[in-house]
Amino acid sequence: MDLQSRLEALIGPSLDAMGYDLVRVQLQGNQRLTLQIMADRKDGAAMGVEDCVGISRSLSALLDVEDPISGAYTLEVSSPGVDRPLTRAKDFVQWAGFEVKLESAQPIEGRKRFRGRLVGLDDADAVRLVVETGEVAIPLADVRGAKLVLTDELIRATIKDQEGLRTDD
């Protein structure tokens, strides 16, 4: 198992027990390593500074005991933000209808980078996007990276979510 998978397996259950979903684990840097943890509240409420502090304290203790990363690193805990990365199958369902940027590991119709409206995830586990040339399907397993594009529509929807007013119709 690679380090990324080991970190996800170590951190995910702890976050789950605390009432959070793991969005992304990313180890960045060469000289000075940073372990970035992105989490969402399971109850759908907005992440606050107190959430990040609680997660950081809990994970710091866990990581000190397990010691999965050799050498020094900085732990950074954050919310995914408005223009969040889409990392899980449920993200591609939840955020259907919004504009996304996506990079595929394999060329699809001669290209690897796409920007368009997210249709969702189909029964074959392919991410469906409407781009300038029509609709494309990118196998979820081939998605190298995807994130929401910051638009006025996304900001309005996020504000409604935080107020508890968003509906899925």
Residue 23's CB: how many other CB atoms inside 10 A?
19
pTM of the model: 0.81
Give the range among 10-19, 36-45, 111-120 with minimum mean pLDDT: 36-45
Residues 85 and 119: their CA atoms lie apart, in Å, by: 16
pLDDT attached to residue 127: 97
- Dig out the tokens for 101 from the structure: 């940027």
Query: What is the mean predicted confidence (pLDDT) over 80-97?
Result: 93
Query: What is the mean predicted confidence (pLDDT) over 60-74?
Result: 92
pLDDT attached to residue 113: 97
pLDDT attached to residue 100: 97
SS3 percent helix, strand, coil of the chain, rounded to 5, is 35, 40, 30
Domains of the chain, earliest start first: 3-78 (3.30.300.70), 89-163 (2.30.30.100)
Count helices and strands (H / E) in the chain.
Answer: 4, 8
Phi-psi region of 81 (alpha: psi -120 to 50; beta: other; left: phi over 0): left
pLDDT attached to residue 70: 87
- Dig out the tokens for 75 from the structure: 């732990």
Segment of 28-32, 44-48, 74-78 carrying the highest mean pLDDT: 74-78
pLDDT classification of 45: cutoffs 50, 70, 90: confident
Helix (H, G, I), strand (E, B) or coil at 138: strand
Query: Phi then psi for 145, rounded to 5 degrees?
Result: -165, 145
pLDDT higher than threshold 70 for residue 84: yes
pLDDT higher than threshold 50 for residue 168: no
